[in-house]
Chains A and B, each alone.
Chain A
């Protein structure tokens, strides 16, 4: 906060009011409704409802497909973070080194960031379709690719679709992180250590730690929430429901299955997961990482 501030009885509320009003109506009201749904049991036609305690949560926990979705979401976040992070870092390091054409590379690597996940999914759909799909043919020739029956193949499908555009985001942030490292540090390290690779892992990479952790959080949030459009335009959860993320499952159960109680309970579980990630981010990352 500022040391010098305005003192006023009402002006501050005038400035805060528009946002607070929108948040109250379009965010808090639905959130309260979510909690209400999670703790009530509704009959299928919505005629009656009664307080159900933790029954909805118990129902979710006893549902094996919830754990399938949980497992998939964890694997999906981990693999996407790993793939997009390492490719993004590799490209950023190269782009930071080249003397000619830096801006051309930068522009041409950044643009997929702007494409909507759902559009990427529709595109991936063509590459993996049996009829036109180049990747489908390629993988089929290699091991007999069949994503609507084989779980591993379906994973490959959604992982490729999900990773593609996220490489750009990782590239942008890593490049900015690399450019923020002071020239003098690099020059000093060149005198001490001749090997490029060792210098990268002992000097540059530790200095990139804040960016890396920031990107881990960004990638996890992306895999949790933004991939909805990708799943919905590619596998729709196929083969069975092995490629449903937690968010996608909550949507299907709530909107298609009209089970508001279960969907509400699932949303609250997700909120708790997001809360943990955020606390982790603040406590662990902000505390342990040394900014230069």
Chain B
């Protein structure tokens, strides 16, 4: 009997938690399906209206922004290019760097190790102004390279891959060396396939991280053609229901990725612990 009651309490606490997480987003979603006029007179809504298709298609295809030069669709495209670029570049460079650190005898190993990992202490937010100046010196303002490169300059992924490589038994390399495998072949034929889960997890992590960037695109894009979704949210003008619809659309890509790939993501992250 007490067991039965405690299980009910369990479920109640979890349901309250769920409501806290879901209700705010639901209210914004429900409100985004009403006309602006209706919202302005009646406030936020809890039940669905019938302007769903109208509002969402208007936001996606109508030009807006400060100078009315960009559609939400273009912003999504920009965000995807940026996030994919950041994730791809981070995975490739980190996978290689971690390999170099773990599997080679290096002369100045400690120095190189610190040169890479001390960067974890300096997030982009701390070097935002000088980074902007460097980017403008390199003529990279208003380019995808400018959006991607400084955010890929991070050692987080290297840290994950390094931990993972260290957990791989030494016998693997011993056997490969007996066969006379070259370092390049060992990397491509053994380590990369072994790291598949890890690569997927890091890719997901960096993709969401890149997609969710706010401050850097805000500073790096003076031309509306390079606006991304998350930064465009604040600056986008439009009626209230348009803005609601845009907020909802902006969270769909990362949320879908995390929900559907959560197993892979969590598996990869906790393989280290």
Chain A binding site: helix, strand, loop or mixed by DSSP? Answer: helix
**Would you call A186 an interface residue if the criterion is a C-beta within 8 Å of the partner chain's C-beta atoms?**
no
Instruction: Indicate with 1 or 0, residue by residue over A11-28, a CB within 8 angstroms of chain B CB atoms.
Output: 111111011101101110
The residues of A that contact B184 with a CB separation of less than 8 Å are 11
**Would you call B48 an interface residue if the criterion is a C-beta within 8 Å of the partner chain's C-beta atoms?**
no
How many positions in chain A have a CB within 8 Å of any CB in the partner chain?
86
The residues of A that contact B13 with a CB separation of less than 8 Å are 90-91, 94
Complexed CA–CA distance, A281 and B145 (Å): 35
CB of A116 within 8 A of CB of B96, answer no
For residue A243, give the distance in angstroms from its CB to the closest CB of chain B: 17
CB of A6 within 8 A of CB of B103, answer yes
CB of A123 within 8 A of CB of B28, answer yes
CB of A114 within 8 A of CB of B255, answer yes
Give B11-28 interface residues, CB cut-off 8 Å to A: 11, 13-14, 17-18, 20-22, 24-25, 27-28
**Would you call A280 an interface residue if the criterion is a C-beta within 8 Å of the partner chain's C-beta atoms?**
no
Instruction: Indicate with 1 or 0, residue by residue over A87-119, a CB within 8 angstroms of chain B CB atoms.
Output: 100110011011101000111111111111111
For residue A258, give the distance in angstroms from its CB to the closest CB of chain B: 9
For residue A202, give the distance in angstroms from its CB to the closest CB of chain B: 19
CB of B44 within 8 A of CB of A5, answer no
> Given A37-B130, A134-B44, are A15 and B105 also a contact pair (CB < 8 Å)?
no
Instruction: Indicate with 1 or 0, residue by residue over A206-231, a CB within 8 angstroms of chain B CB atoms.
Output: 00000000000000000001001100
The residues of B that contact A247 with a CB separation of less than 8 Å are 125-126
**Would you call A178 an interface residue if the criterion is a C-beta within 8 Å of the partner chain's C-beta atoms?**
no
Nearest residue (CB) in A for B104 is A12
- Point out the residue from A111, A133, A196 that lies within 8 Å of B21, measured CB to CB: A111
Interface stretch of the complex, out of A61-69, A73-81, A271-279: A271-279
**Would you call B270 an interface residue if the criterion is a C-beta within 8 Å of the partner chain's C-beta atoms?**
yes
**Would you call B163 an interface residue if the criterion is a C-beta within 8 Å of the partner chain's C-beta atoms?**
no
CB of B44 within 8 A of CB of A19, answer no
Nearest residue (CB) in A for B186 is A6
Which of A91, A126, A263 has most B Cβ within 10 Å?
A: A126
The residues of A that contact B105 with a CB separation of less than 8 Å are 5-7, 12
**Would you call A198 an interface residue if the criterion is a C-beta within 8 Å of the partner chain's C-beta atoms?**
no
CB of B177 within 8 A of CB of A4, answer yes
The residues of B that contact A239 with a CB separation of less than 8 Å are none
- Point out the residue from B131, B173, B183, B259 that lies within 8 Å of A110, measured CB to CB: B259
CB of B106 within 8 A of CB of A168, answer no
Total A-B residue pairs with C-beta atoms closer than 8 Å?
264
For residue A95, give the distance in angstroms from its CB to the closest CB of chain B: 6
For residue B147, give the distance in angstroms from its CB to the closest CB of chain A: 12
> Given A23-B119, A110-B259, A229-B215, are A31 and B127 also a contact pair (CB < 8 Å)?
yes
> Given A18-B97, A94-B13, A105-B14, are A118 and B130 also a contact pair (CB < 8 Å)?
no
> Given A22-B152, A270-B126, are A118 and B11 also a contact pair (CB < 8 Å)?
no
CB of B259 within 8 A of CB of A31, answer no
The residues of A that contact B22 with a CB separation of less than 8 Å are 108
CB of B173 within 8 A of CB of A23, answer no
Interface stretch of the complex, out of B51-59, B66-74, B194-202, B227-235: B227-235
Complexed CA–CA distance, A225 and B126 (Å): 9
- Point out the residue from A18, A108, A278 that lies within 8 Å of B92, measured CB to CB: A18
**Would you call A51 an interface residue if the criterion is a C-beta within 8 Å of the partner chain's C-beta atoms?**
no
**Would you call A146 an interface residue if the criterion is a C-beta within 8 Å of the partner chain's C-beta atoms?**
no
The residues of B that contact A29 with a CB separation of less than 8 Å are 130, 134
For residue B34, give the distance in angstroms from its CB to the closest CB of chain A: 12
The residues of B that contact A172 with a CB separation of less than 8 Å are 266
Give B28-59 interface residues, CB cut-off 8 Å to A: 28, 39-40, 43-44
The residues of A that contact B102 with a CB separation of less than 8 Å are 1-2
> Given A27-B122, A33-B130, are A118 and B96 also a contact pair (CB < 8 Å)?
no
For residue A274, give the distance in angstroms from its CB to the closest CB of chain B: 5
Nearest residue (CB) in B for A91 is B17
Complexed CA–CA distance, A132 and B32 (Å): 13
CB of A228 within 8 A of CB of B153, answer no
CB of A16 within 8 A of CB of B100, answer yes
The residues of B that contact A271 with a CB separation of less than 8 Å are 121-122, 126
The residues of B that contact A157 with a CB separation of less than 8 Å are none
**Would you call A240 an interface residue if the criterion is a C-beta within 8 Å of the partner chain's C-beta atoms?**
no
The residues of A that contact B160 with a CB separation of less than 8 Å are none
18 contacts between A and B (CB under 8 A): A15-B187, A19-B94, A22-B152, A105-B17, A108-B22, A109-B18, A110-B259, A114-B257, A122-B233, A131-B40, A131-B43, A176-B266, A225-B123, A228-B125, A229-B215, A232-B215, A254-B129, A278-B120
The 8 closest A-B pairs by CB, nearest first: A15-B100, A116-B212, A33-B130, A12-B104, A19-B97, A114-B254, A30-B130, A114-B258
Other than the given A5-B173, A233-B233, 6 more pairs (CB < 8 A) read A2-B173, A4-B173, A18-B96, A106-B262, A176-B270, A254-B129
